[in-house]
């Protein structure tokens, strides 16, 4: 049976600004990105999630939009976007755009008119209060950076509401006129060829806003309406929701499969890092057990790192401290009291075996894997930069000036390239890794190629299996008549482990080494795994197809 594409996709996240500079002005652009499509095709990804590329004063890396309907001139023209997305399509790569409609920039003409003219229809696009609400010092998404969620505007003579930075006023998404605008933005970019949207800050979009208001109001109906707008205009388009949810809220977002298609699995991500910190698989198994079963055509998105801090807010205080100790022990590595502002490779001590293990788990867990630019070559972070900029440095293409990102003088780059040391572009770059058959990049390419041939992992139904060693994560994924197994050793010691295969298995074929595993008992099998070792196996012996 045909599967919906989002259940067998591999997604790659790109920030146009820091990926590749095509015209040498120090800022990444669509021309530069288009020139890297063959690289991305080689990585076997089939969907690019583009972070915001719209006109913006850029106080929050484009998540502060001043115009929803075109491309920021710093990144090129609308024509460059279309040329890029067509070139992507020619390579079988879909494009997803960021839909940032919880808030605009204060520079957006809607806000400018709203603050100047209380009779303007745009006044009601935002959320105002004459007096500062009593709970104004609560609910900031960036605690430590922002002190309030209500900021005084001298022109409007009112306070305006903002969950994020002071310069990102929340749209009143309960206002039907705002909902119409959101529909129009969705339709516009669908018409320009995108296959869907990563919906930024989804829980805040659907929360009732205004002094004294709370809760989700009519959000189930609204999610259905938003989805209908999307699906009527393009049947295979998807919403990928950025929603860091407690398990009990998941059903509200997926509905009966009539709301969002995909949700980023922040809950599992945090427990995954706890599991890595402990060298114990159980936090991952328990996290999945806590999540509800999701509708057939819905999906989780699994990721290692995003462009934001590694948010650990869903762990208990003690668990969070464990992860901090293991992966971000210095105060400067931590952010907002809840997260770690580091890249994957340095967090894992640049230990190749552990980096492979992490990727292998992400590629096999039930869901769609989402990679982030730079992690495939093991890029590092720059903790001298502010907040999340530490992990947003330019892509390292080559051992040439500016790491091959741009021909501009270094001082004109949008963010400095990481140079020198273990993670500098001189050592860590695409060109060098392409030439080295043992490189991380070549390993990632091999694994993504294999993953594309094993749709059971993404689209199948998965069950975790009982093992004799808590360090080992063992999973069986089934699609129709066919089953695959993934076995991962999260610990730094070699293990010999018995796995309850849960079914009569008459043979196992090792997908990574192309060898048969002799199975003595159809129900149990003993595996040997190196420290941080992993296995991908197909049941029934025979060949991988």
**In the complex, least distance from residue 77 CB atom to Ca ion, rounded to whole angstroms:** 12
**In the complex, least distance from residue 248 CB atom to ligand GLC, rounded to whole angstroms:** 21
Our CB check for ligand GLC shows the closer of 60 and 319 to be: 60
**In the complex, least distance from residue 74 CB atom to ligand GLC, rounded to whole angstroms:** 18
Our CB check for ligand GLC shows the closer of 258 and 387 to be: 387
Residue 47, binding choice from ligand GLC, Ca ion, none, Cβ under 5 to 8 Å by partner class = none
Residue 226, binding choice from ligand GLC, Ca ion, none, Cβ under 5 to 8 Å by partner class = none
Our CB check for ligand GLC shows the closer of 141 and 398 to be: 141
Cα(388)–Cα(221) distance, integer angstroms: 34
Residue 96, binding choice from Ca ion, ligand GLC, none, Cβ under 5 to 8 Å by partner class = none
Give φ, ψ of 148 to 5 degrees.
-150, 160
- The DSSP string of 156-187 is TTEEEE-SS-TTSPBB-TTSHHHHHHHHHHHH
Q: Among 288, 220, 289, which residue's Cα sits nearest to residue 256?
A: 220
Residue 59, binding choice from ligand GLC, Ca ion, none, Cβ under 5 to 8 Å by partner class = none
Cα(485)–Cα(509) distance, integer angstroms: 10
Our CB check for Ca ion shows the closer of 39 and 142 to be: 39
Residue of 17, 200, 319, 376 with catalytic role: 200
Q: Which residue is nearest to ligand GLC (CB)?
A: 63
Angle between helices 266-278 and 352-364 (to 10 degrees): 150
Per the CB < 8 A criterion, the answer to whether 298 and 310 are in contact is no
Q: Which residue is nearest to Ca ion (CB)?
A: 29
Take residue 112 and report the two structure tokens written for it.
Answer: 């400018």
**In the complex, least distance from residue 142 CB atom to ligand GLC, rounded to whole angstroms:** 8
Residue of 60, 242, 356, 375 with catalytic role: 242
Instruction: Decide if 286 is catalytic.
Output: no
**In the complex, least distance from residue 200 CB atom to ligand GLC, rounded to whole angstroms:** 5
Our CB check for Ca ion shows the closer of 70 and 521 to be: 70
Our CB check for ligand GLC shows the closer of 98 and 456 to be: 98
Residue 375, binding choice from ligand GLC, Ca ion, none, Cβ under 5 to 8 Å by partner class = none
Residue 27, binding choice from ligand GLC, Ca ion, none, Cβ under 5 to 8 Å by partner class = Ca ion
Beta pairing class for 11-14 and 196-199:
unpaired
Residues near ligand GLC, by CB under 6 A: 60, 63, 100, 164, 200-201, 242, 307-308
**In the complex, least distance from residue 47 CB atom to ligand GLC, rounded to whole angstroms:** 18
Cα(206)–Cα(245) distance, integer angstroms: 13
**In the complex, least distance from residue 179 CB atom to Ca ion, rounded to whole angstroms:** 35
Residue count of the chain:
545
Take residue 370 and report the two structure tokens written for it.
Answer: 């989402």
Our CB check for ligand GLC shows the closer of 150 and 164 to be: 164
Our CB check for ligand GLC shows the closer of 132 and 307 to be: 307
Residue 120, binding choice from Ca ion, ligand GLC, none, Cβ under 5 to 8 Å by partner class = none
Q: Among 228, 213, 131, 232, which residue's Cα sits nearest to residue 173?
A: 213
Q: Among 228, 224, 195, which residue's Cα sits nearest to residue 96?
A: 195
How many angstroms separate the Cα of 178 from the Cα of each of 104, 127, 231, 530?
12, 12, 19, 55
Bridge partners, residue 97, by sequence: 50, 197
Cα(138)–Cα(149) distance, integer angstroms: 7
Residue 308, binding choice from Ca ion, ligand GLC, none, Cβ under 5 to 8 Å by partner class = ligand GLC
Residues near Ca ion, by CB under 5 A: 21, 23, 25, 27, 29
Write down the residue that tokens 């930069």 correspond to. 385
Instruction: Decide if 242 is catalytic.
Output: yes
Helix (H, G, I), strand (E, B) or coil at 11: strand
**In the complex, least distance from residue 5 CB atom to ligand GLC, rounded to whole angstroms:** 24
The separation between CA 135 and the C-alpha centre of its own chain, rounded to angstroms, equals 31
Helix (H, G, I), strand (E, B) or coil at 233: helix
Take residue 3 and report the two structure tokens written for it.
Answer: 């599967």
Q: Which residues are catalytic?
A: 200, 242
């Amino acid at each position: 049976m045909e599967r919906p594409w989002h259940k067998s996709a591999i997604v790659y996240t790109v920030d146009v600004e820091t990926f590749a500079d095509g015209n040498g002005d120090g800022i990444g652009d669509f021309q530069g990105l288009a020139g890297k499509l063959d690289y991305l095709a080689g990585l076997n990804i089939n969907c690019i999630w583009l972070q915001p590329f719209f006109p913006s004063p850029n106080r929050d890396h484009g998540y502060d939009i001043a115009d929803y309907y075109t491309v920021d001139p710093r990144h090129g023209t609308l024509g460059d976007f279309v040329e890029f997305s067509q070139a992507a399509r020619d390579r079988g790569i879909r494009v997803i755009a960021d839909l940032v409609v919880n808030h605009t920039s204060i520079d957006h003409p809607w806000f400018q008119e709203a603050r100047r003219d209380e009779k303007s229809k745009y006044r009601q696009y935002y959320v105002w209060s004459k007096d500062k609400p009593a709970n104004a010092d609560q609910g900031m998404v960036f605690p430590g950076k922002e002190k309030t969620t209500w900021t005084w505007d001298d022109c409007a003579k009112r306070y305006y509401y903002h969950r994020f930075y002071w310069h990102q006023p929340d749209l009143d998404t309960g206002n039907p006129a705002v909902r119409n605008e959101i529909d129009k933005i969705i339709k516009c970019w669908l018409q320009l060829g995108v296959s869907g949207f990563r919906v930024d800050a989804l829980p805040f979009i659907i929360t009732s806003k205004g002094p004294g208001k709370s809760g989700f109001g009519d959000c189930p109906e609204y999610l259905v309406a938003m989805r209908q707008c999307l699906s009527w205009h393009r049947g295979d388009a998807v919403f990928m929701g950025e929603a860091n949810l407690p398990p009990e809220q998941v059903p509200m977002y997926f509905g009966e499969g009539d709301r969002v298609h995909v949700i980023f699995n922040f809950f599992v991500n945090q427990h995954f890092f706890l599991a890595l910190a402990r060298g114990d698989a159980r936090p991952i198994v328990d996290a999945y057990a806590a999540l509800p079963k999701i509708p057939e055509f819905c999906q989780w998105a699994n990721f290692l790192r995003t462009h934001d801090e590694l948010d650990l807010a869903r762990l208990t205080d003690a668990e969070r401290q464990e992860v901090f100790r293991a992966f971000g022990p210095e105060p400067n590595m931590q952010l907002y009291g809840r997260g770690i502002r580091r890249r994957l490779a340095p967090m894992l001590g640049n230990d190749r075996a552990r980096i492979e293990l992490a990727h292998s788990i992400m590629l096999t867990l039930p869901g769609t894997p989402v990679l982030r630019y730079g992690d495939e070559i093991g890029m590092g972070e720059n903790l001298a930069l502010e907040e999340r900029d530490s992990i947003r440095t330019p892509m390292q293409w080559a051992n040439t000036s500016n790491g091959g990102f741009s021909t501009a003088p270094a001082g004109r780059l949008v963010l400095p390239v990481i140079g020198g040391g273990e993670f500098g572009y001189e050592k860590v770059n695409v060109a060098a890794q392409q030439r080295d058959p043992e490189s991380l990049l070549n390993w990632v390419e091999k694994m993504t190629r294999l993953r594309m041939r094993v749709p059971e992992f993404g689209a199948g139904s998965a069950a975790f299996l009982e093992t004799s060693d808590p360090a080992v994560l063992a999973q069986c994924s089934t699609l129709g008549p066919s089953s695959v197994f993934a076995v991962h050793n999260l610990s730094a010691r070699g293990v010999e482990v018995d796995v309850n295969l849960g079914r009569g298995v008459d043979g196992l074929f090792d997908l990574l080494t192309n060898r048969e595993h002799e199975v003595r008992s159809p129900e149990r099998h003993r595996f040997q795994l190196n420290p941080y070792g992993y296995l991908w196996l197909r049941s029934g012996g025979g060949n991988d197809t």
